[in-house]
Amino acid sequence: MDRFDARLVAVAGASTIALTAVFVALADASSATVTFFRCALALPLLAAVVVWRRLRWRFNVWHALAGGFLGLDMVLWSESIAAVGAGVATVLVNVQVVIVPLVTLVLFREPVRVAFWATAPLLLGGVALAGGAVDSGLGGAGFGSDPLYGTVMGLLAGVAYAGYLVVLRRAGRRGEQVPMLITINGAGALVALVAGVGSGTLDLLPSLPTLGWVAVLAVTGQIVGWLLIGAAIPRLPAALGGTLLLVQPVGAVLLGVVILAERPSPLQLVGCAVVVASVALAARAKQPEPTVGQGVVRTPST
């Protein structure tokens, strides 16, 4: 992978991940069902890579904890997709860009630049627009079966994803990336199983079309996209890497319109643009050393 331009690899990975929300919508199943199978189906493929490359897998409690947060994130995010649309849900979850610095400030006393704080109100205003809150206040209606519920689920998914990033950062560079993915996906599948059984929404015998879309999702979202971005980001300056990864939320909105015929309102589209712009500004205001599997915007783990 090192022989390819890191910028092209990052764009390819972000473009692959942009399809994730579309595949979730096309699977047409409960959030717990989609999350459980997308993680579970990725496990044998990852195990095959471990055997082929003669890698060693060891259980790592930090990777398992990160996977638990990621599983919760994926369940909540899938709920958001069903309620507010694939494109808008993908943009909303990037609220983690604000949450992660807050958590690291409180837990690890890491300083945050003043410029970063200036972007927080901008991002939250964009979230309100993208979620359709302003449309409702003006007597209109944003796109989605339940924009308010979808927005809340998207924001909670962003909180869970922030937890995943913080824990993964605590884990550091311990071990190879593929064995790490086995632990993360295993923990994510377990969280989805518990959530699905507890809510009574888990379908262990989904239809063949559902399994087909989830299988595609498992390969692209859980393996290919992750590996592409994981290989590219450490080779790029933080600001450039974060900017290139913005292809993912922008692409998700466009693909939602083209493939799923989603029609966000003009104010929702403005909100999406504001969120993406504020994410780009936040990336330049706070540029930590990149970690494998960690990105400025939503990374292939989703």
Contacts of 48 (CB under 8 A, 6+ apart): none
* C-beta separation of 19 from 224 below 8 A: no
Q: Is the dihedral of CA 139, 145, 149, 150 positive or negative?
A: negative
Q: How far is Cα 201 from Cα 197, in angstroms, rounded to an integer?
A: 7
The band of 142, judged by pLDDT with boundaries at 50, 70 and 90, is low
Predicted pLDDT at 302: 52
Mean pLDDT of the chain: 82
- The runs of H, that is alpha helices, within the chain are 6-18, 20-27, 31-52, 61-84, 86-92, 96-108, 114-130, 133-137, 147-171, 177-199, 208-219, 225-232, 238-244, 247-259, 266-285
* C-beta separation of 279 from 296 below 8 A: yes
Whole-structure pTM value:
0.84
* C-beta separation of 246 from 276 below 8 A: yes
Domain ranges of the chain: 6-285
% residues pLDDT > 70 (the chain): 84
Return the higher-pLDDT residue of 222 and 286.
222
Nearest to 130 by CA among 73, 161, 84: 84
Cα 259 to chain centroid distance, Å, stands at 20
Predicted pLDDT at 71: 96
Predicted pLDDT at 300: 41
The band of 128, judged by pLDDT with boundaries at 50, 70 and 90, is confident
**Residue 96 clears pLDDT 90, i.e. is over it:** no
Tokens 């050393």 sit at which residue? 289
State the greatest distance between any 2 C-alpha atoms of the chain, in Å, as a whole number.
60
For the stretch 219-266, pLDDT in tens is 988 788 878 887 787 777 766 666 677 788 888 888 888 899 888 888
CA triple 39-41-46, angle to 5 deg: 85
Return the higher-pLDDT residue of 74 and 239.
74
**13-27, 100-114, 174-188: range with lowest mean pLDDT:** 100-114
**Residue 42 clears pLDDT 80, i.e. is over it:** yes
**Residue 293 clears pLDDT 70, i.e. is over it:** no
**33-37, 212-216, 220-224, 242-246: range with lowest mean pLDDT:** 242-246
Q: How far is Cα 275 from Cα 89, in angstroms, rounded to an integer?
A: 12
Q: Supply the DSSP symbol for 95.
A: G
Nearest to 269 by CA among 3, 88, 33, 40: 88
Predicted pLDDT at 117: 77
* C-beta separation of 69 from 157 below 8 A: no
For the stretch 155-167, pLDDT in tens is 999 999 989 988 8
Task: Give, in order, the Cα–Cα distances in Å from 63 to each of 152, 182, 210.
Answer: 27, 9, 28
Predicted pLDDT at 134: 65
